[in-house]
Structure 1
Amino acid sequence: MFGKLRNSGFSLTEVLMAAGILAIGFVFIAGMFPVGVKLTALAAEQTIAPIAVDEAIAKIKLYADPNFVGALWQAQLRSGSAYIDFSDLMLQRGFPIDQDEFTYPSADIRPELKKYHWSALCRRIGLRDVHVIVFVSRKAGAGARYRYYDQFNAFHNDGRWPVPVKMVVGVGDDERRLIIGTQDQRSYISTGSTIVDDATGRVYRVLKRRLDNDNIVFKLDRKLEGYVAPPANVSVWVVPPAVGSGRNPCVRVDPTHTIRF
Structure 2
Amino acid sequence: MAIDRTLLWPSQSIPKRGPKPRMTLERIVAAAIGIADTEGLAAASMQRVADELGATKMSLYRYVPGKSELTALMLDKRLGAPPAPATAAQPDWRTALSAWTIEIHRRFSEAPWTLELAVGARVIGPNELAWTERGLAALTGTPLTGAEQLDVLALLSGHARSIVQQQTIVEPEHVTAVLMSGIIEEHATRFPYVAAAYASASVSGVRDDALHFGTDRILDGIQTLISTRTN
TM-score clears 0.5: no
State the structure with more CA Rg.
1
Sort the TM-score into its range (normalised by shorter chain). under 0.3
TM-score when normalising by structure 1: 0.20
Which has the larger share of strand?
Answer: 1
TM-score when normalising by structure 2: 0.22
Which has the larger share of helix?
Answer: 2
